[in-house]
Amino acid sequence: MDKTVNQKAWFLVLPVLVLVAFSAVIPLMTVVNYSFQDTFGQNVFFWAGFEWFEQVLASERIRDALGRQILFSAIILAIEVPLGILVALCMPRKGIWVSVCLVLMALPLLIPWNVVGTIWQVFARVDIGLLGRTLSELGIDYNYTQDALDAWITIIVMDVWHWTSLVALLAYAGLVSIPSAYYQAAKIDQASRWKVFRYIELPKMQGVLLIAILLRFMDSFMIYTEPFVLTGGGPGNATTFLSIDLVKTAIGQFDLGPAAAFSLIYFLVILLISWVFYTVMVNLDKKEGV
Amino acid sequence: MDWMAWTWPTAIFFMVIGALLVTMTIIAALRPETPRVGILRIETTRGDRLFISLLGSAFISLAWLGMFGPPLWGALIACLIYAAAVFRFV
């Protein structure tokens, strides 16, 4: 039987296209336009060529911020993913505690980012904060506003506190979906707990874990609000990540051209990494589907 | 051209990308294809290969700019060779 060709459904996609055009494509085009021009305000622009791109590529300040950003993402992924899996493995699979656990795990995810920053800012203060005060009472020299290492540790702990639940919930969803037959087979074979994890649970969680890693990577690579509220990028420039640096350039110094060039390069890096993750994910699904 | 601070070079850049997308859509409608597996060991369609070419070209141009500075004609040639290679082998 011949298939009827009917392309009218494409019209239903039209509103989305218009929305995306106005919310993403056109602003991005404007950024491209700005990145090649210089302005002194009054909506008057001068052609600057590749000057801003050269400046951004040669900028030590941005290179340092990129280094910090990569280090930050690597650290939080290295902590949150294993920790999230561990938490998911410890969560009950049935009974009344399931919903209690799920709600408790979801709580940090529901808090707005600037509130998370404020909570930790107060919590870690040496004079009135519970954490800061306790640490200093114990004789530990801790002050996140003056010491770079302390600031880093505080931001990392804050991020782990905020986002490990996401990894845990995703991993838990992966774990729950494993049919019990697999566990029964493992029991018959007298597989150890480690082998059950290595050969049954981990492969079955692969898909959701990739999504978790992608989401955490993207979010941590674009992190702004929490470190901004907590440390404001300090002490010095110790916790100035890419987005904080970008906002300083664009809004603080009102250098639209360099900021536009900077954000385009930032965007390209994120696009590349997301594409790699996406491709790996889709190909894994296909392999599993075979 | 005042709208959105347009200049001819950026306008031409977007027109070329727009034209590429339209051409690919027309080709896709006229000659439907099946995805193939190339040297990256992933399934790609023509659209995927265009995306890989454009993204890679952006990085080639940035690398050229960082290493040799403008003009970017050399980078453009490198991008075209890269794009041809992507469409042939990936």
pLDDT digits (tens, 9 = 90+) for A230-270: 888 878 888 899 899 989 888 888 888 889 999 999 999 98
Does the pLDDT value for residue A38 go beyond 70?
yes
Would you give the DSSP letter of residue A200?
I
Distance CA A71, CA A77 (A): 10
Residue A289's pLDDT is what?
56
Chain B contact present for A172, CB below 8 A: no
Chain B contact present for A33, CB below 8 A: yes
**Of residues A290 and A46, more confidently modeled:** A46
Residue A167's pLDDT is what?
94
For B35-59, write each residue's pLDDT tens digit. Answer: 888 888 888 888 889 999 999 999 9
| Chain mean position to CA A52 | 27
User: What average pLDDT does the segment A130-157 reach?
Assistant: 90
Residue A120's pLDDT is what?
92
Number of H helices, E strands in chain A: 14, 2
Q: Which helix (H) or strand (E) holds A160?
A: helix A148-176
Closest chain A residue to B59, measured at CA: A268
Residue B51's pLDDT is what?
93
Question: Which residues in chain A are closer than 8 Å to B72, comparing Cβ atoms?
Answer: 50
Rounded mean pLDDT of chain B? Answer: 88
Q: What residue segments make up the domains of chain B, in order of their start?
A: 3-89
Helix (H, G, I), strand (E, B) or coil at B43: strand
β A37-39/A45-47 pair status = antiparallel
The structural domains of chain A, ordered by start, are 70-243 (1.10.3720.10)
- Among all chains, which residue has been given the structure tokens 């011949």? A2
**Of residues A151 and A4, more confidently modeled:** A151
pLDDT band at A1 (very low <50, low <70, confident <90, very high): low
Would you give the DSSP letter of residue A45?
E
Q: Residue A233 in contact with residue A113, Cβ under 8 Å?
A: no
User: What average pLDDT does the segment B5-13 reach?
Assistant: 88
Q: Residue A222 in contact with residue A228, Cβ under 8 Å?
A: no
Q: Alpha-carbon torsion A190, A194, A198, A202, what sign? A: positive
Helix (H, G, I), strand (E, B) or coil at A15: helix
CB B13 to CB A53 under 8 A? no
Which residues 23-82 on chain B approach chain A with CB closer than 8 angstroms?
Answer: 42-43, 51, 55, 58-59, 62, 65-66, 69-70, 72
For A54-101, write each residue's pLDDT tens digit. Answer: 888 888 888 999 999 999 999 999 999 999 999 999 988 888 888 898
CB B13 to CB A49 under 8 A? no
List, in sequence order, the alpha helices (H) in A9-147: 10-20, 26-35, 51-58, 60-90, 97-110, 113-123, 130-137
Q: How far is A198 from chain B (nearest CA, A)?
A: 26
Distance CA B20, CA B72 (A): 21
Residue A56's pLDDT is what?
87
List, in sequence order, the alpha helices (H) in chain B: 8-30, 46-67, 73-89
For A183-207, write each residue's pLDDT tens digit. Answer: 899 889 888 889 888 888 888 888 8
Q: Which of A32, A39, A272 sits opposite B55 (nearest CB)?
A: A272
Closest chain A residue to B42, measured at CA: A283
| Chain mean position to CA A231 | 18
Residue B53's pLDDT is what?
94
Helix (H, G, I), strand (E, B) or coil at B36: strand
Does the pLDDT value for residue A290 go beyond 60?
no
Question: Which residues in chain B are closer than 8 Å to A26, comparing Cβ atoms?
Answer: 4
CB B69 to CB A54 under 8 A? yes
**Of residues A49 and A70, more confidently modeled:** A70
Give me the count of residues in chain A: 290
Chain B contact present for A3, CB below 8 A: no
CB B70 to CB A34 under 8 A? no
Residue B89's pLDDT is what?
87
Q: Which of B7, B9, B58 sits opposite A268 (nearest CB)?
A: B58
